[in-house]
Amino acid sequence: MASSAIQPGVLVALQELEPSSPFFKEGQSVRVTGRLQSYSAETAIAVIVDGGANLSIDTKHLRDISFRTDSIYQFIGELIIQHENHVVVETRVGRNVDGVDLNLYHQSIQLRRKLESDLLKSKPNPTF
Amino acid sequence: MDPTRSTHVKLLAADFLSLAVSPSVPPTFTRRTRPVSRAEAVGVVVSRDSRQKFLRFLLDDGSGCVPCVIWLNHHLLLPRLSTSAASAASADLDAASARAHAGKVRLGELLRVRGRVTVYRGELQITVKDVVVERDPNSEVLHWLHCIKLARDCYDLLPPATATDYRR
């Protein structure tokens, strides 16, 4: 297990995955959360929605997960930027997170980013 | 004694991976000069490497991936000449406990782990003593908020004055 080869899935809101965002990069590892709008067993593509934005998730690598429309799911994977800036997340792990307080979740992400930014500034040689 | 030395310090992965490592043998660890020997981390299992003597896995909390190890070789650690039934029973319990914890580590699972801070091949890791599967997705958010609050209100501050200071 080469731990340094596996990048952490940066917490992003679905609305942030647009071309002007710093997270909008081919291969960027992200963690996304949203309500399941649709799932195709044929293509293994799930579509999740949150905050007025939607995102396609390629779930072909996932095992032991069942999909229920309107449940909330969280996925960690890499961004694949297709034609016309259409984004798909090729997910490595996923889980049902029904019961999560999405408002608190998004507010906490903002607080975390401030802490992580402060950590970066306080270190002479940042590692993340 | 600084209380951070004897508690499981709650840290986000980025903070944990930034701990300073002393060149001493065995190494010691500090966060902004405050000693840290045990840590608590919460994250999603994103990799898992199971061997006969140990289980290594990574916990991803979004700010980094914390390497964790659970040792499974307790039966090999008993001194060969030990005839103590109590030692053997204790080792059996440790081995059973370690196997039970290892069984909880599955890809995609949200885990809370506690253990000692150690180093392996120059890389910080947690040698895990306890594993809890967190079923409530809000528990991870709560952990983040705890990490932020503890960093601001406790870990970032100077250590408390020692008893000798009060006698002056």
Report if residue A105 sits inside a domain.
Answer: yes
Residues of the domain holding A98: 10-121
Does residue A76 sit within a domain? yes
- Number of Cβ atoms within 10 Å of the Cβ of A97: 19
Model confidence at B116: pLDDT above 80 = yes
Determine, for residues A98 and B147 on separate chains, whether the beta-carbon distance falls below 8 Å. no
What global pTM score does this model have? 0.89
Contacts of B47 in chain A (CB under 8 A): 1, 3, 6
Give the torsion sign (CA, A73, B66, B138, B31). negative
Whether A5 is covered by a domain: the verdict is no
ipTM score for this prediction: 0.91
Find the closest chain A residue to B61 by CA distance: A8
Q: Which CATH architecture has domain B3-156?
A: Beta Barrel (2.40)
**What does the pLDDT read at residue B16?**
97
- Residue A24 above 60 pLDDT? yes
Number of separate domains in chain A: 1
- Domain assignment present for A4: no
A107 has a chain B CB within 8 A of its CB: no
Dist CA B119 CA A76 (whole Å)? 27
In order of A55, B69, B93, B95, the CA distances from B129 in angstroms are: 38, 9, 13, 11
Asked if the model's pLDDT at residue A45 lies above 70, the reply is yes
pLDDT in tens, B57-79: 999 999 999 999 999 987 665 55
CA dist., res. A28 & res. A43, Å (int)? 22
Q: Residue A85: pLDDT band by 50, 70, 90 thresholds?
A: confident
Helix (H), strand (E) at residue A26: none
Alpha-helix residue ranges (DSSP H) falling in B10-162: 13-16, 74-77, 85-104, 138-150
The reply to whether A2 falls in a domain is: no
How many Cα neighbours within 13 Å face the side chain of B95? 14
In this structure, is residue A94 part of a structural domain?
Answer: yes
Give the residue numbers in B contacting A (CB under 8 Å), as ranges.
Answer: 12-15, 17-18, 32, 44-49, 56-58, 60-65, 67, 107-110, 123, 136-138, 141, 144-145, 147-148, 151
CATH code assigned at A82: 2.40.50.140
Q: What is the mean pLDDT of residues A90-99?
A: 97
Q: Does A113 touch chain B (CB under 8 A)?
A: no
Nearest to A127 among B18, B67, B145 (CB): B18
